[in-house]
Structure 1
């Protein structure tokens, strides 16, 4: 009898799984139980088997369950993605099931639009107020000249206003208004009236309070229910919830809402690849039914509907933004620890860290795109 045969089938399976993971990690600079801050420290004997069986879903859930720890999850993620392990994190069965489901069902239909609001955005305003800066912007800041998170978010809001060429008295539509950050800024500093829509009850309630003394109306509504005419339209951090089956509908819905000489600013996370896919852990715990668009998908969906005037990528700034949010979570969690579980804390730490690593590796992008209905003359986008 060999030594492997004497230790039992479960232990043997774990040993083999460890050997496979070690081989996959070779050359990445990441070592299981290694000395570097980006090296994962494994505490549970079934960790390797779980990760090989369940891919990124198993890795994230194992972290939430306390099976492993890593001082710098962001650095670990960046190194793994640069090593090419991003594709290997999705199991074949997971990919097949998601594509089959997305092919049979419109995961982002009107009937399903509110799921992400109830799951994530309605989790608790007290949590997001501690994670975000005072603007409550839950999207990438603009760090070109900023040195703090608050400065970066104010710079992002003002950049969007300048790209939209706002003038006093304009009517502005904010699709996916969140907690009212853009609506408040634009109304207060550019003297425009804003209609904001969100699919989150918690966001709508707080946004109304923040904008109570301004010409701002906040509505709980899906973008496909909109009517009216607006001089400018902005959508910051919402397009990620539209879904590939609805991209064309999104632009066709916006066109009649936009004045003839109007402008649309679309601010969205983008994917380097055109695919019908989503990280299974993010899909289950953070943004259910979300999907990241590619350049090709946005171009195809908007072609013949709206004219692209400008396209800017500052995805590297999302790394800095996410790390600032992580710092806020770590600094202020004790203030809300009695209302949220330790598993929720670890879920947010994992989410923010892994996403920061993905942007650092340039695996994800952040785009601001300006569209018009085909207005005459030259458009010069500020930077």
Structure 2
């Protein structure tokens, strides 16, 4: 098969209605496409079979995770250029068009089928989530989903996240380091919650204990942290012991729905609510409201998607759902605010940190790429490739305003309706000298 790259780019142009914006190098060593552009390396014809079997994002993701596709050049530039390269394309009427159902494209699809080689398609890479048991967002299924993502290995997370071990959006200042930005984010949360000596703080989805440690060490809070990840809990307890804070912090492997020892003075939920799901979000809001004392504060730090014109047509991202966050769901900011208010909370402040998350993700990708052999050794080649793709693509989504991230400060009002908050908004930033 001579010059497979030229045949592939020609067929892709017929199917997509436009030239490929990247250069292609095929499995036979041939190249085709614009000089100087990032190179999409198609290492094996199996990649085409995956695309034919699962047109769109999931087929591309499977080929990437399996190592059958690669990028030479700037990964971010390549992802930007290929963002529209999906097989299901709009026809201008709002309908979706599949190439093999469009008579004008059938010939090109048959040509691609010949180029792809013999069937059947290969099985999905082992990192893909399959055979999910139980009701969506039941406690059992949520625990399995959290384990898939977070029990990858503490050493791997330390490589990616750095010494801070904080797996959420940092709070950046020009010229700062990742560690500085993560410390500043934790401190911002503590100030918004107005933590003081002796306050009881519940940290929902406590991760590796960074928020709990900061709140106890810097503000004298008594902290209960809950996580569904056994590996996270073990790591957090070790850190807490090394800090000499075991008398102030308790880490539990526990579902937030099973916490019954309120009331708490404050609750932090940082990067956890994305796992709750739309069908459970009111329950989440009700549970946190019940766990707070009157006058207590909630800081909800959560990724948000943009609202759809037709919300019933919203579909979960196939790659993210299959390889990264099983059963994870993003909600528009307005829906989150409305649900918190329906539960009885008064929303007092919303701060958008979208650009901050893009910066954070780019730093995590740089950490991963700086010790790629170590990342592969700690997990697997496929898992490391999943993380590189999802973090780089997510950085672009934040930069292009496809998704955002927000901190919502809410209060459970006192019985007389008082919030006991400062008259001037955002006193916490003024206190920090911002």
- Pick the TM interval, shorter chain: 0.7 to 0.9
Cα deviation per residue 1:56-84 (whole Å; 9 max; x = unaligned)? 11111111222222233323334455x69
For the Cα contact (< 8 Å) 1:74–1:353, is it kept in 2? yes
| Number of equivalences | 360
Cα deviation per residue 1:88-138 (whole Å; 9 max; x = unaligned)? 59x899xxxxxxxxxxx8521222120122211011111001111212000
Match of 2:164 among 106, 129, 135: 135
Q: Look up the match of 2:192.
A: 163
Q: Look up the match of 2:103.
A: none
User: 1:347 and 1:254 mapped to 2: Cα distance?
Assistant: 33
For the Cα contact (< 8 Å) 1:175–1:233, is it kept in 2? yes
Q: Look up the match of 1:40.
A: 40
Does 1 or 2 have the higher relative contact order (CA < 8 Å, sep 6+)? 1
Q: Look up the match of 1:59.
A: 60
Match of 1:327 among 356, 366, 372: 366
Q: Which moved more, 1:203-212 or 1:339-348?
A: 339-348
1:358 aligns with 2:397: yes
Match of 2:282 among 248, 267, 271: 248
For the Cα contact (< 8 Å) 1:76–1:357, is it kept in 2? no
Q: Normalising by structure 1, what TM-score?
A: 0.85
User: 2:38 and 2:394 mapped to 1: Cα distance?
Assistant: 15
Match of 1:264 among 292, 298, 309: 298
Give the secondary structure class of the aligned counterpart of 2:56.
helix
Cα deviation per residue 1:198-222 (whole Å; 9 max; x = unaligned)? 0100001101111122111000111
Give, in angstroms, the shift of residue 161 of structure 1. 1.0
Match of 2:79 among 70, 77, 80: 77
Match of 2:273 among 239, 244, 260: 239
Give the secondary structure class of the aligned counterpart of 1:211.
helix
For the Cα contact (< 8 Å) 2:55–2:86, is it kept in 1? no
For the Cα contact (< 8 Å) 2:170–2:356, is it kept in 1? yes
Alignment RMSD, CA only? 3.0
Highest CA radius of gyration, 1 or 2?
Answer: 2
Q: Look up the match of 1:210.
A: 239
Cα deviation per residue 1:265-295 (whole Å; 9 max; x = unaligned)? 0011110125453211111111111011112
User: 1:192 and 1:92 mapped to 2: Cα distance?
Assistant: 56
- The 1:329/1:241 distance shift into structure 2, 3 A limit, reads same
1:297 aligns with 2:335: yes
Give the secondary structure class of the aligned counterpart of 2:331.
coil
Give the secondary structure class of the aligned counterpart of 2:167.
coil
Gaps in structure 2 of 5+ consecutive residues: 25-32, 91-95, 99-133, 414-418, 430-434
User: 2:332 and 2:238 mapped to 1: Cα distance?
Assistant: 36
Give the secondary structure class of the aligned counterpart of 1:197.
strand
User: 2:77 and 2:46 mapped to 1: Cα distance?
Assistant: 24
Give, in angstroms, the shift of residue 87 of structure 1. 8.7
Q: Normalising by structure 2, what TM-score?
A: 0.75
Give the secondary structure class of the aligned counterpart of 2:17.
helix
Match of 2:12 among 11, 15, 18: 18
Q: Look up the match of 1:316.
A: 355
User: 2:239 and 2:141 mapped to 1: Cα distance?
Assistant: 28
Q: Which moved more, 1:215-224 or 1:41-50?
A: 41-50
